[in-house]
């Protein structure tokens, strides 16, 4: 059972894929009406749980909370399709449980099953309106206007109704996804419901995990209605997979396994090339992120003028002082005797480097060590020509751009802000690299087209230096994984999850304003301890 739940939790589908999966279920003999009853029953129970919890939170600190809350007014927003049918069954179930229910349905033409449910609700005496105003006094709104597959821009009267209810500042629970969002991209189609909760049905829809949708989704959770795994596998087997990074998958490799008898070089030797006189902090933060990864040996190449600062901050690391330019950038690498770039298990290059260090990057690219590029490493690569340059590499490369860097790296690819999954997948396919596109929902793709999305993060990471910590952390994991049977893309996905979970924990304990990049490094180990204790 747990294995099935974990597999379901990882799956992300497009509208077409969800349609094909449902068609297989119905073709196999599952009546649409039976599935609707099952799904709506699960939704109704979850809505009641959410409402009771919110009431308890509102009454927290008061003398007592009545064990039997008085019936509340619930507004049901009904669409013409089966999403509207789900909402109408929910309306009926809540009515039978003592809630006062009002229905908003501005459509004259409904699917047959939806129409039947509306007719029955009317027979029960539930009022139905084609205007949104009568629902203004409701305590809770249920959004069942549109389900997955919506592609057209919303128009009046529905668009105006949505804008109006968004101004009411009431709790709204959306069924499957907030009405008005594109299922695949999360694009707002003119306007969209700003939900406080979204109950995604069956499988995670790709649009719910896109940056541009997050202002509308609220707290999202999955309502599992027992889709057979075989149907999912048949539909998805010939398409590049898109997966959610889950706690279980991330922790399956953390900490990275070590044999009883080992030594520091067997547990990975990472070289960081970073920093300049102008940006010494980038080198420090990258080093602290790498230290937290547990890498066996850490070497850090910096301009000579930074060496004493780095030794003070990272006494366990081997600090390599390099000749520097007049501007304080690394002029050339000066590695220890009998050491070259191919001696390292992995290399991470870029934070604080400045573009004055551009000659260094070609030397790094010519190495055969796994390589991670970030910050100025990416900017220099873009000037060199991303795709042609990376196609010559003999080992794996990881790129970790934000959207601005992505545009410079891949100017021919469509806007990564609007089509994050598609853009990241294309970039990885063209370059042969594993590409991590930073954002509120970080997207990772490999050259075979497999995509991972990190489903949780926090605005606390919108601080200078947070990306430097991520570079060091993933670099350290890459160095350790070089001797283990763990793919580069799995390691990158694990590092992204670890980084965001540390920030979430730090924000919970210190508030979002209290999570600077240096503080973040102190929570990298703390979050592993916390999650391990909860297993």
Regarding whether 283 and 143 lie in a shared domain, the answer is no
The response to whether 82 counts as a known ligand-binding position is: yes
Regarding whether 135 and 31 lie in a shared domain, the answer is yes
Residue 71: per-residue pLDDT: 55
Please report, for the domain that includes residue 108, its CATH number: 3.40.50.10260
The response to whether 176 counts as a known ligand-binding position is: yes
Structure tokens at 482: 């070089």
The response to whether 147 counts as a known ligand-binding position is: yes
Considering only 148-152, 209-213, 256-260, which range has the smallest mean pLDDT? 256-260
Residue 241: per-residue pLDDT: 93
Regarding whether 170 and 283 lie in a shared domain, the answer is no
The response to whether 495 counts as a known ligand-binding position is: no
Distances (CA, A) of 117 to 45, 176, 205: 19, 19, 26
Q: Report which secondary-structure segment, H or E, holds 383.
A: helix 376-384
- Only one residue has tokens 């990564």, namely 416
Q: Looking at 176, 209, 239, which one is the last position of a domain?
A: 239
The response to whether 344 counts as a known ligand-binding position is: no
391 φψ region: left (φ > 0), alpha (ψ -120 to 50), beta (else)? alpha
The response to whether 86 counts as a known ligand-binding position is: yes
- Our count of domains for the chain comes to 2
The response to whether 442 counts as a known ligand-binding position is: yes
Regarding whether 454 and 521 lie in a shared domain, the answer is yes
The response to whether 84 counts as a known ligand-binding position is: yes
Regarding whether 481 and 395 lie in a shared domain, the answer is yes
| Cβ atoms 75, 95 nearer than 8 A | no
Say what the pTM is. Answer: 0.94
The response to whether 406 counts as a known ligand-binding position is: no
The response to whether 151 counts as a known ligand-binding position is: yes
Q: How far, in Å, CA of 3 to CA of 139, rounded?
A: 38
Please report, for the domain that includes residue 313, its CATH number: 3.40.1190.20
Give 447-452's long-range contacts (Cβ < 8 A, gap of 24+): 448/240, 449/240, 449/425, 450/240, 450/241, 450/242, 450/243, 450/489, 451/240, 451/241, 451/242, 451/243, 451/421, 451/424, 451/425, 452/242, 452/243, 452/244, 452/245, 452/489, 452/493, 452/496
Regarding whether 112 and 8 lie in a shared domain, the answer is yes
Regarding whether 266 and 227 lie in a shared domain, the answer is no
Q: When comparing pLDDT for 57 and 208, which is higher?
A: 208
Angle, to 10 degrees, between the axis of helix 15-27 and the axis of helix 32-58? 130
Q: When comparing pLDDT for 2 and 140, which is higher?
A: 140
The response to whether 179 counts as a known ligand-binding position is: yes
pLDDT tens for 255-294 read: 888 888 888 888 899 999 999 999 999 999 999 999 999 9
Residue 64: per-residue pLDDT: 38
- Only one residue has tokens 């590092």, namely 495
Regarding whether 439 and 307 lie in a shared domain, the answer is yes
The response to whether 149 counts as a known ligand-binding position is: yes
The response to whether 148 counts as a known ligand-binding position is: yes
* Best CA proximity match to 186, nearest among 165, 219, 216, 147: 216
When pLDDT is cut at 50, 70 and 90, the band that residue 418 belongs to is confident
| Cβ atoms 385, 398 nearer than 8 A | no
When pLDDT is cut at 50, 70 and 90, the band that residue 534 belongs to is low
Regarding whether 295 and 193 lie in a shared domain, the answer is no
How large is the average pLDDT for residues 427-434? 97
pLDDT tens for 328-380 read: 999 999 999 889 999 999 999 999 999 999 999 999 999 999 999 999 999 99
Range of the domain at 427: 247-533
Q: How far, in Å, CA of 353 to CA of 290, rounded?
A: 17
Angle, to 10 degrees, between the axis of helix 466-481 and the axis of helix 517-533? 50
The response to whether 468 counts as a known ligand-binding position is: yes
The response to whether 467 counts as a known ligand-binding position is: yes
Q: Looking at 218, 239, 260, which one is the last position of a domain?
A: 239
How large is the average pLDDT for residues 47-64? 66
The response to whether 41 counts as a known ligand-binding position is: no
Residue 463, strand partner residues: none
The response to whether 402 counts as a known ligand-binding position is: yes
The response to whether 191 counts as a known ligand-binding position is: no
Residue 67: per-residue pLDDT: 40
């Amino acid at each position: 059972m747990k294995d099935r739940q974990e597999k379901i939790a990882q799956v992300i589908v497009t509208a077409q894929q969800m349609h094909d999966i449902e068609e297989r279920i119905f073709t196999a003999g599952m009546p649409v009406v039976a599935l609707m009853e099952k799904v709506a029953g699960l939704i109704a129970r979850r809505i009641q749980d959410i409402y009771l919890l919110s009431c308890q939170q509102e009454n927290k600190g008061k003398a007592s909370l009545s064990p039997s809350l008085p019936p509340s007014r619930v507004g049901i927003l009904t669409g013409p399709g089966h999403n509207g049918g789900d909402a109408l069954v929910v309306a009926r179930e809540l009515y039978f449980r003592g809630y006062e229910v009002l229905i908003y349905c501005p459509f004259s033409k409904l699917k047959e099953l939806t129409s039947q449910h509306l007719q029955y609700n009317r027979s029960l005496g539930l009022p139905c309106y084609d205007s949104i105003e009568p629902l203004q006094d409701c305590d809770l709104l249920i959004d069942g206007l549109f389900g997955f597959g919506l592609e057209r821009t919303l128009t009046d009267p529905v668009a105006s109704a949505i804008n109006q209810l968004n101004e009411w500042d009431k709790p709204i629970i959306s069924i499957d996804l907030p009405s008005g969002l594109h299922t695949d991209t999360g694009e707002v189609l003119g306007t969209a419901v700003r939900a406080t909760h979204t109950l995604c049905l069956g499988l995670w829809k790709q649009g719910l995990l896109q940056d541009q949708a997050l202002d509308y989704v609220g707290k999202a959770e999955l309502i599992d209605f027992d889709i057979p795994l075989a149907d999912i596998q048949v539909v998805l087997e010939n398409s590049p997979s898109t997966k959610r990074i889950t706690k279980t998958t991330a922790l399956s490799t953390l900490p990275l396994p070590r044999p009883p008898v080992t030594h520091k070089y067997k547990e990975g030797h990472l070289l960081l090339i970073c920093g300049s006189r102008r940006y010494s902090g980038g080198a420090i933060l990258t080093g602290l992120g790498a230290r937290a990864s547990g890498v066996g040996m850490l070497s850090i190449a910096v301009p000579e003028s930074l060496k004493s600062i780095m030794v003070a901050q990272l006494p366990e690391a081997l600090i390599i002082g390099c000749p520097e330019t007049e501007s304080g950038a690394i002029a050339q690498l000066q590695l220890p005797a009998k050491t070259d770039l191919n001696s390292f298990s992995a290399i991470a290059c870029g934070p604080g480097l400045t573009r004055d260090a551009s000659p260094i990057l070609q030397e790094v690219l010519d190495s055969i060590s796994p390589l991670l590029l970030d910050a100025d490493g990416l900017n220099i690569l873009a000037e060199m020509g991303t795709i042609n340059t990376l196609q010559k590499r003999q080992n794996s490369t990881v790129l970790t751009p934000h959207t601005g860097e992505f545009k410079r790296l891949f100017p021919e690819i469509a806007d990564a802000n609007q089509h994050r999954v598609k853009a990241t997948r294309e970039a990885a396919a063209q370059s042969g690299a594993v590409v991590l596109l930073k954002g509120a929902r970080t997207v990772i793709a490999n050259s075979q087209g497999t995509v991972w999305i990190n489903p949780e993060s926090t605005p606390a990471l919108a601080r200078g230096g947070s990306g430097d910590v991520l570079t060091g952390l993933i670099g350290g994991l890459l160095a350790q994984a070089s001797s283990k049977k763990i793919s580069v893309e799995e390691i990158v996905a694990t590092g992204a999850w670890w980084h965001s979970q540390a920030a979430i924990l730090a924000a919970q304990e210190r508030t979002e304003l209290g999570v600077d990049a240096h503080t973040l490094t102190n929570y990298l180990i703390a979050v592993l301890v916390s999650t391990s204790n909860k297993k």
